[in-house]
Amino acid sequence: MGYPKKKRPIESLILQDKILPGLLQDIRSFLKMENWYVEKGIPYRRGYLLHGPPGCGKSSLVKAISGELGYNICVVSLSQRITDDSVTQLLNQAPGKCVILLEDIDAAFGSREEKGGMGESKSNIAFGGQSESLLTFRGLLNALDGVASSDDGQIVFFTTNYPERLDPALIRPGRVDLKVRIDYPDDAQVGGMFDKFYDANDEKWEGVKEKFIQVVRGVKVKVSLAMIQGLLFLYRDDPREALEKAEEYFEEQFGNETKLPGEKLKF
In a domain, 267, yes or no: no
Shared domain for 16 and 146, answered yes or no, is: yes
Residue 44 clears pLDDT 70, i.e. is over it: yes
Using left for φ > 0, alpha for ψ between -120 and 50, and beta otherwise, residue 19 falls in alpha
Q: In the prediction, which pLDDT does 3 show?
A: 45
Tell me the percentage of the chain whose pLDDT exceeds 70.
81
In a domain, 263, yes or no: no
Shared domain for 36 and 78, answered yes or no, is: yes
Helices (H), the chain: 19-31, 34-40, 58-69, 84-93, 112-115, 137-148, 187-197, 208-218, 225-234, 239-254
In a domain, 94, yes or no: yes
For residue 128, the domain's CATH number is: 3.40.50.300
23 versus 124: which is more confidently predicted? 23
Of the three residues 160, 181, 202, the one that is the final residue of a domain is: 181
Shared domain for 143 and 224, answered yes or no, is: no
In a domain, 145, yes or no: yes
Range of the domain at 32: 2-181
Residue 93 clears pLDDT 50, i.e. is over it: yes
Tell me the percentage of the chain whose pLDDT exceeds 90.
45
Of the three residues 181, 212, 232, the one that is the final residue of a domain is: 181
List all residues 6 or more positions away from 218 whose beta carbon is below 8 Å from its beta carbon. 260, 261, 262
In a domain, 240, yes or no: yes
Residue 117 clears pLDDT 60, i.e. is over it: no
Between CA 96 and CA 87 the distance in angstroms is 17
pLDDT digit string (tens) for 194-240? 999 998 788 888 899 999 999 999 887 789 999 999 999 999 999 99
Neighbouring CB atoms inside 10 A of 261's CB total 7
Q: In the prediction, which pLDDT does 6 show?
A: 59
Using left for φ > 0, alpha for ψ between -120 and 50, and beta otherwise, residue 4 falls in beta
Between CA 16 and CA 30 the distance in angstroms is 23
Residue 126 clears pLDDT 70, i.e. is over it: no
pLDDT digit string (tens) for 155-203? 999 999 999 999 999 899 888 999 999 999 999 999 999 999 998 788 8
Shared domain for 52 and 131, answered yes or no, is: yes
Of the three residues 120, 154, 181, the one that is the final residue of a domain is: 181
Shared domain for 92 and 205, answered yes or no, is: no
Shared domain for 165 and 247, answered yes or no, is: no
In a domain, 264, yes or no: no
Q: How confident is the model at residue 151 (pLDDT cuts 50, 70, 90)?
A: low
Over residues 26-36, mean pLDDT: 95
Shared domain for 110 and 25, answered yes or no, is: yes
Shared domain for 116 and 233, answered yes or no, is: no
Instruction: Determine the Cα angle at 184 with ends 260 and 123, to 5°.
Output: 120
Shared domain for 176 and 203, answered yes or no, is: no
Shared domain for 171 and 231, answered yes or no, is: no
Torsion sign, CA atoms 156, 154, 2, 56: positive
Q: In the prediction, which pLDDT does 122 show?
A: 52
Using left for φ > 0, alpha for ψ between -120 and 50, and beta otherwise, residue 63 falls in alpha
Quote the strand ranges of 104-200, DSSP E.
122-127, 130-136, 154-160, 178-181
In a domain, 262, yes or no: no
Torsion sign, CA atoms 19, 25, 29, 32: positive
List all residues 6 or more positions away from 32 whose beta carbon is below 8 Å from its beta carbon. none
Count up the domains in the chain and report the number.
2
Average pLDDT taken over every residue of the chain: 81
The strand pairing partners of 155, in sequence order, are 46, 99
Helices (H), 96-238: 112-115, 137-148, 187-197, 208-218, 225-234
What is the distance between the terminal CA atoms of the chain, rounded to a whole angstrom?
Answer: 49
Shared domain for 14 and 88, answered yes or no, is: yes
Neighbouring CB atoms inside 10 A of 119's CB total 11
Mean pLDDT lowest among 98-107, 120-129, 208-217, 226-235:
120-129
Shared domain for 100 and 213, answered yes or no, is: no
Q: Which one, of 256, 245, 13, 43, lies nearest residue 155 by Cα?
A: 43
Between CA 102 and CA 90 the distance in angstroms is 11
In a domain, 265, yes or no: no
